[in-house]
Amino acid sequence: MEIRLLKSSFDDDGSASERQHTACFVVNGTVAFDAGSLAMAVGGDRDNIRDIVLSHTHLDHIAGLPLFVDDLFSTLRSPVRVYGTKAMIAALRTHIFNDIIYPNFEEIENEFGRVLEFREYEFGIEFSVGGLSILPVEVNHNEPSAGFVISGPSGSVALSGDTADTDGIWTAASAAGDLKAVLVECAFPDEMSKLAETARHLTPSGLKRELEKLERPEVPVFVVNIKPMFRPQVVAEIKALGLPGVSIFPVGEAVSV
Ligand SMILES: [Zn+2]
């Protein structure tokens, strides 16, 4: 399975910055998990992605979604399919695709038909998308929010989404016999643990406690969703913990597991 974390900002010379402002992971070049910078940074996979699975509806996870549909509008021969819980879909209809913030693309057709279709998933119920089997697990962030166990022919990957301390995703990841990797968030440095608690994110110390729940010490762990303004400090604190098998996911690059 190949997982690419799209870049979301640029250095002065135009190269991808390692500051991750938004979240969008493209799996096997065809299925996007979240859509933070999807329209802006997807590159050549633009024409292959028609399925977008959302973890939650915070802006840094959906900012590129309306622009992606807009980008493809005139060429789509089948709708872009967006997967979320009933509440996530309601939030997108009310707050984004409402003809105020952006057009209601559910109602506007191109010459081939519909361009946007929402599909509901429920926590704990596996569904299939693009050759992947996806188990959404509720995590501890704004409500509702999901982490995922994503399974394909070559194995499974767990993606925490945004979360504070939680249990279900670790139980589900530990139970995946073919688990190849874990992607887990760590947003804030330890000195901001109060804010992390309020915003329901992890700090390096919290990450360490969470990883103790993962009963698969041999599986590599990649840290994602580090707040860009605190990135150097968070990375230094994670490295200082010396956690075996834990590394930082390179922004703008792909990891094959
Ligand atoms: Zn969030």
CB-CB contact of 94 with 112 (8 Å): no
Q: How far is the CA of 112 from the centre of ligand 1 (A)?
A: 35
CB-CB contact of 158 with 176 (8 Å): yes
| Cα–Cα distance measured from residue 157 to residue 159, given in angstroms and rounded to the nearest whole number | 7
Q: How far is the CA of 8 from the centre of ligand 1 (A)?
A: 16
Q: How far is the CA of 191 from the centre of ligand 1 (A)?
A: 20
Q: For the chain, how many structural domains are there in total? A: 1
Task: Check residue 102 and give its pLDDT.
Answer: 98
Summarised one tens digit per residue, pLDDT across range 24-36 is: 999 999 999 999 9
What is the domain extent for residue 185? 2-256
Q: How far is the CA of 165 from the centre of ligand 1 (A)?
A: 14
Share of the chain above pLDDT 90, in %: 96
Q: How far is the CA of 185 from the centre of ligand 1 (A)?
A: 10
Give the chain's mean pLDDT.
97
**Strand bridging mode 25-27 / 2-5:** antiparallel
Task: Check residue 16 and give its pLDDT.
Answer: 83
Question: The CATH number of the domain where 122 resides is what?
Answer: 3.60.15.10
Q: Which residues surround ligand 1, an ion (CB under 5 A)?
A: 58, 162
Summarised one tens digit per residue, pLDDT across range 62-79 is: 999 999 999 999 999 999
CB-CB contact of 249 with 6 (8 Å): no
Summarised one tens digit per residue, pLDDT across range 71-115 is: 999 999 999 999 999 999 999 999 999 999 999 999 999 999 999
Given a cut of 90, whether residue 240 has pLDDT beyond it is: yes
CB-CB contact of 170 with 208 (8 Å): no
Task: Check residue 14 and give its pLDDT.
Answer: 83
Q: How far is the CA of 74 from the centre of ligand 1 (A)?
A: 31
